[in-house]
Structure 1
C-alpha cells in the first residue's frame, strides 16, 4: 500500500508539473536556482499533498521565475547519483536581480511560511549561465 501511495504522489507531481511548467524554449540560463528538499515524513501522503498544493500556489503566483520545474528523484542506478531527496525545484530567472526580488516576493514568502514545517532539510545550488560566444 505504501508503494501505491508513493507512486500516486509521484504521478500527481508529474501531472501538475506538466500543467504548470514552461516549455524548454522558455528556459533562461541567465540564473538557475536549484532547490533540493527532504520532507520530514516523505512517506506521508498528507504531507506530500500539502507541500505540492503550496508549491503549485507559489509557482502560479511568482512574478520573477521564468522556468518552473518540480520533480522527484528516479531510483538511482549508479552510486554517484543522490536519490535521497524528496523533491527538486528548478526555477530560472532573467537576472540575478530578478532572483533577489523573488526571494522577498509574497508568493515565495507565503510558500515558506505554509510549508517549512514539512521539510527537514533544503540544499540550494545557484548558477549563473556562461556567456555565449
Structure 2
C-alpha cells in the first residue's frame, strides 16, 4: 500500500531527477554528461520558527555549503513552490535539499564528511523536524 506522503516524495524525486542534469557540477561528474545520478538524497526541513526569514536564510546557506563535498554530483535547494493546491501536494515543509550521488558509497562519504557534520552542528537548532527520502535508480 502506498501512502500519500510516499507517493508525493516519489513524485518530487522524479521531477527533480528529470531536471538535475542542468545542475551538475562539471568536474564532479563521473559519468556521461546527460546521465542521471544513481542515488538521490532528498531532505525536507520544518523550521522551529517558520516565520523567521533569518532562520530560513541561515538554513539555506548551510545546505548550499554541502555542495563542496566531493561526492555530491548535484544539489538543488528549494522552498515550497506556489503551485496548484491539490490533495496530493504536501507543501508543509519550509526548505528542502536534493543531493545527487553516483552510488551508496558516495552518500556514505557525505554522511560522515566534516562539512556535513559541521552543517548539522551549526544548523540543527533551526529545525523542528526532518524527513529524508533516499532512492536508488533501478
* TM-score, normalization by structure 1: 0.74
Q: Is the 8 A contact 2:49 2:55 kept in 1?
A: yes
Q: Is the 8 A contact 1:31 1:95 kept in 2?
A: yes
1:54 shift after superposition: 1.7
- CA pair 26-45 structure 1, distance change in 2 beyond 3 A: farther
Q: Is the 8 A contact 1:40 1:118 kept in 2?
A: yes
Q: Which position in structure 2 is the counterpart of 1:95? A: 103
Q: Which position in structure 2 is the counterpart of 1:116? A: 124
Q: 1:1-133 residue pairs with structure 2 within 5 A? A: 21-22=23-24, 28-59=36-67, 61-75=68-82, 76-130=84-138
Tell me, in whole angstroms, the C-alpha distance in 2 between the residues paired with 1:27 and 1:101. 21
Note the alpha carbon deviations across 1:5-49, whole angstroms, 9 max, x for none: xxxxxxxxxxxxxxxx437x5663311111111111121011112
Note the alpha carbon deviations across 1:25-77, whole angstroms, 9 max, x for none: 56633111111111111210111122122222232x21111010001112351
Root-mean-square deviation (CA, aligned residues, Å) is 1.7
Structure 2 runs not aligned, ≥5 long = 1-22, 26-32
Give the SS at the match of 1:53. helix
Structure 1 runs not aligned, ≥5 long = 1-20
Give the SS at the match of 1:100. helix
Q: Spell out structure 1 runs of 4+ moving beyond 6 A.
A: none
Give the SS at the match of 2:129. strand
Q: How many residues align?
A: 108
Give the SS at the match of 1:36. strand
* TM-score, normalization by structure 2: 0.71
Give the SS at the match of 1:38. strand
